[in-house]
Structure 1
Amino acid sequence: MAFSTAVAHASLPGSIFAPHSTPAHEEHQLSIFVLWITLLIYLGVSGLLVYALVRFRARPNDDAEPPQVFGSLQIELSWTIIPILIIVVLFLGTARVLFSVQDAKKPPTALDVLVIGHQFWWEFRYPQYNVVAANELHVPTSSNSAPRPTFMKLTSADVMHSFWVPQLNGKTDLLPNRVNEMWIDPQTPGMYVGQCAQFCGPQHAKMLLRVYVDTPEDFDKWIKNQQRTQAELAAPHIAMASIPNPGNQTRGPLPPNSPATHGTVAAVSTEAPDNAVNAHNGQLVFERQACINCHAVGGTVANGRYGPDLTHLMSRDTLGAGAAANTPGNLLAWIADPNTFKPGCLMPAMHLSERQNAQITAYLLTLK
């Protein structure tokens, strides 16, 4: 246990040696057990090798031929029985964890999430709440006194992907025309980074994801905000202060391969008359271009399903599945040319005018 604790404390975010969920704890204990077994094998083989090198080394003036041994029942039994016992122990230990994780009963209080992998982003659907999110999964904490695990069904819209958040569970593949399942029950609020663990195309390395584990109260607030359409959010009686993460603040560190800010755009108040005009014009440009063929915005005519849902774009911390921080400058650069951050991504540059790009940016900045 001392070795396990030392490794866990020395690990970085995203390591399997810092588990924060029951499945991850089970897998962590199994990995430590396997490490100890393999360490004993290494020490045993190395000890025998050193003994043979010292005991049977060539000595000065010793030209006699060593005794010739043809078969040894004891040695043959040893190198047959011992490996079989090791394999049986590893098999039983692995099977115990597999059945413990895969056969876990789903409580009535569980949260259901449908995870759909796309090239190169994640779609998260909450059927119990009629909420759709992208790239950033929000789940509530779970405890022994108030269990609320998250049970996920995973599938793919195109090619094979793999959902992996090391601190919460092992990786699970997403396959077209097939539904796999996994579950997590994180006990500690925070942000946990993950990624696609199966090569899926040129931007596989930037198909990142974040799991935000919220307190039950914060999760309920997030759900209520996500359930609102843009028409409801634009109502005068809704205060900006009630909307979490207004889009110009980034919670937690960016994933390792995420650039910071590209370009600058002045952050303006949503109540400024000029900005309101730009946002209105930006919505018109957005709805008259091909944007609505791929993206959806709740409460508007935009109903595309090929790209991420943008209804609450500015409530997210990153753009392009973790490719960049979700700042006004990065958003403008992304609209002008997504290849700035993700070369080879499937969203094309629309080659609009600078004015149109600025107007669309002003509109998207209102999508809280």
Structure 2
Amino acid sequence: MKRWKTAWRFLPFSLLLLLLAGCGEENLTALDPKGPQAKWLLDNMLLSIYVMAFVTIVVFAIFFIILAKFRRKPGDDEIPKQVHGNTALEITWTVIPILLLVILAVPTITGTFMMADTEPDPEVGEDTVVIKVTGHQYWWQFDYENEGFTAGQEVYIPVGEKVLFELHSVDVLHSFWVPALGGKMDTVPGITNEMWLEASYADVYKGKCAELCGPSHALMDFKLIALERDDYDAWVEGMQAEPAEPEDELVAAGQEVFESQSCIGCHAVGGEGMATGPTLTNFGDREVFAGYLDIEDEGALAQWIKDPKSLKQGTLMPGYEGQINDEDMEALIAYLKSLTVLDNE
């Protein structure tokens, strides 16, 4: 009895946890589809649930009817008549499951072929956007090879168009996933996987690495920004343009710090520098850095530059503790936040 009382005591907390398990960040859910792939996935899940619910209700209804109608009653001393079987019933309970499997199989097979079709959209043709995605510990690199530039941590696509992704990894197994737009796919070292996504609405969609890839796996987030075609083209032009010389004295001083501290050896800006780390061409347009930290939090940004491993375990970025004084740090942060490509973002 004590055990039952204890179990009932924790029931409200269990129900609360169950409800909270369904809560999540905006756009980080597969239950609010914003693209054709995600809509098909949700529809197929619902179809499976309806079929399972139908089977469950029928089985339990028959069970309780038999339990009530054929239960042993007082005076029933004789064993019921034993029969070999009922051909009609056996055919019925064989045919019904086959029909249910067909109902599940047809949309599953057609949807699988639909999602595996990585051929360019005929309506878009040569203008189809192709993005090479590379997973790193613990950030994402997006190479727009036809356009000739690289983006990091945020990937931009045009609305209403089929966008092709070529998935790679340089270290361990990662998994590229934008829940509101489609399913996940692994990035495997030495292997190129292909997938496509389409956004039906202009919005910011959150993405995650869905494969355990190290101690900071949970912080390997990114964003997919879907823009109308004109806005997307303007963003591409901004990424392709040469960075303007800073007019503000503080920003100019920050650029000098950036270059003198060899930051450009890992982070490219406007095509200048290496891409060992995330490209910073549009750093000021981002809402977060390091995958999860608010870009407006200058204290966190300074701490990231000084000692990144204190904020993201396992990151390969070196720290600059003791190498940059407070005045230079203020200038460096001003420079980083000045790196934008669109005024309206």
- With the shorter chain as reference, the TM-score category is 0.7 to 0.9
Pairwise CA distance, 1:149: 2.1
Match of 1:365, SS? helix
**Residues 1:282 and 2:295 are matched in the alignment:** no
Q: Which residue of 1 aligns with 2:339?
A: 367
Mapping 1:1-368, distance limit 5 Å: 13-59=27-73, 61=74, 64=77, 66-67=79-80, 69=82, 71-74=84-87, 76-103=90-117, 105-106=119-120, 107=122, 108=125, 109-142=127-160, 148-230=161-243, 233-234=244-245, 271=248, 273=249, 275-276=250-251, 278-287=253-262, 291-298=263-270, 300=272, 302-303=273-274, 305-321=275-291, 323-327=292-296, 328-353=298-323, 355=325, 357-368=329-340
Structure 1 unmatched runs, 5+: 1-10, 143-147, 237-270
Where does residue 4 of structure 1 map in the other structure? none
Secondary structure at the aligned position of 2:131 is classed as strand
Whole-angstrom CA distance in 2 between matches of 1:63 and 1:363: 91
Q: Which amino acid aligns with 2:145?
A: P
Name the CA shift for 1:318/1:77 in 2 (closer, same or farther; >3 Å): same
Whole-Å separation in 2 of the counterparts to 1:154 and 1:56 = 60
Q: Distance in 2 between matches of 1:110 and 1:182?
A: 13
How far the C-alpha of 1:340 sits from its partner, in A, is: 4.1
* C-alpha distance 330-221 of structure 1, shift in aligned 2 (>3 A): farther
Residue type of the partner of 1:325? D
Describe the SS at the equivalent of 2:214. coil
Root mean square deviation of aligned Cα: 2.7
Post-superposition Cα deviations, 1:271-326, rounded to whole Å, max 9, x if no partner, equal: 2x3x1463144124322xxx4443323364x32x33211232222221112x1121
Question: Normalising by the residue count of structure 1, what TM-score does the alignment of the two structures yield?
Answer: 0.75
Which residue type is aligned with residue 347 of structure 1? M
What amino acid does structure 2 have at the position aligned with 1:285?
Answer: S
Give, in angstroms, the shift of residue 353 of structure 1: 4.0
Distance 1:62 1:333, change over 3 A: farther
Distance (Å, rounded) in 2 between the aligned partners of 1:68 and 1:163: 61
- Report the identity percentage: 31
1:110/1:150 contact within 8 Å kept: yes
Counterpart of 2:10 in structure 1 is none
Does the CA contact (< 8 Å) of 1:278 and 1:362 recur in 2? no
Where structure 2 has 5 or more consecutive residues not aligned to the other structure, the ranges are 1-24, 341-345
C-alpha deviation, 1:73, in angstroms: 4.7
> What CA distance in whole angstroms lies between the structure 2 residues aligned with 1:284 and 1:207?
27
Rounded to whole Å, the distance in 2 between the matches of 1:299 and 1:123 is 14
Question: Retained in 1: the 8 A contact 2:219–2:312?
Answer: yes
How far the C-alpha of 1:342 sits from its partner, in A, is 2.2
Matched to 2:270, the amino acid is: G
Q: TM-score, normalised by structure 2?
A: 0.79
